[in-house]
Amino acid sequence: MIKRISFLLVIGSFFGCHKNQQKAGCGTQVCTDIFASVGIHFTDKNGNAIVVNNFTAVDQRTHLSVLPAHPVTGIDNVGYYVVTDDSVRSQLSTEGDDILVSATDSSTNQTKTVTLKLSGGCNCHVDKVSGVDTVAFD
């Protein structure tokens, strides 16, 4: 009888294993209520903030734009552009995606392109993994 119970416990432990159990989405985590964004500054060769045209931010993994629906506006934000924010966090991978950011200097028509690595996905907020903070035009 004891051998039979031991055998059933061993068999039951194999079926109780969670190895093949599908994980539910991102799991549970405690996140803050802040709304995060990642931006970039554009300057001229003297370090002065400038207005740019044709500002784009494209995820190289998905080939989709990661720009937020509402761009930052106002006189205090000249030269600063939001690349992405939490509204599009789910488009980005948890580990980080290469985002090709491009813009054209409105006065010289020079175009600059940089790559930022941004994460999102199962993280609580979008975040910059690597890349520059400022792009200076010549």
pLDDT tens digits in sequence order for the chain, 138 residues long: 555 444 444 444 444 443 333 234 688 888 999 999 999 999 999 999 999 999 999 999 999 999 987 766 665 778 999 999 999 999 999 999 999 999 999 999 999 999 999 999 999 999 999 999 999 999
120: which 2 tokens?
């999102």
pTM of the predicted structure, to 2 decimals: 0.77
| Model pLDDT, residue 70 | 72
* Through-space distance between the first and last CA atoms of the chain, rounded to whole angstroms: 85
| Model pLDDT, residue 25 | 66
Provide CB contacts within 8 A for 135, sequence distance 6+: 40, 41, 42, 43, 101, 103, 112, 114
- Domain ranges (residues) in the chain: 36-136
Question: What letter would DSSP give residue 89?
Answer: G
Q: Tell me how many degrees the CA angle 81-83-86 measures, rounded to the nearest 5.
A: 120
Residue in this structure with the two tokens 């432990």, named with its chain if needed? 13
Residue in this structure with the two tokens 């294993």, named with its chain if needed? 17
Task: Give the largest CA-CA distance in the chain.
Answer: 89
| Model pLDDT, residue 22 | 29
